[in-house]
Amino acid sequence: MGGRASFVDVHNGNFDFVDGGQKYFSIGFDAKNNIKYLVQPVGSVKVPDYSHTGERIYAIIQNGEVKSIGIYENHNKVKSIDLKHKHTNKDGTKLNEHYHSDLYHKNDAKSLSKQDWELVDMVRKGAKNYL
């Protein structure tokens, strides 16, 4: 198991799965906004590279806070928003909250837009239902 987010267990719409060697635990789902809340309680964690659902948003919770958000189109991650780790671009620019639009974060990070912040706020509010 592994690869493209293979399912480990499915129970009442909440499930565990493995992606890229990391195990994720589903703790809730906001059907209105298509946001799946996942927790990965230990170690370094990133949003999964792929989604079983074509147009999905994954919110990663760690230590009781939203750590990162992944946005997916056609099952592929198109944007990852990092909220809890700093990034230094090649030119030395340091960013706290930032996003990457490439799968493996090889390119420079960018500052969050107003639309990104609106999504972050919505995800944080929704996460309170599952913490």
In this structure, the number of other CB atoms found within 10 A of the CB of residue 29 comes to 16
Determine the pLDDT at residue 76: 85
Determine the pLDDT at residue 12: 42
Q: Provide the CB-side half-sphere exposure for 83 (13 A, CA).
A: 19
Residue 58: strand, helix, or coil? strand
**C-alpha separations of 37 from 6, 15, 96, 124, 126 in Å:** 17, 11, 22, 10, 9
Check the CA dihedral 25-30-31-34 and report its sign.
negative
* pTM of this structure: 0.81
Q: Which of 73-82, 107-116, 118-127 has the highest mean pLDDT?
A: 118-127
Residues above pLDDT 70, as percent of the chain: 77
- The better pLDDT of the pair 105, 126 is held by 126
**pLDDT at residue 113 is higher than 90:** yes
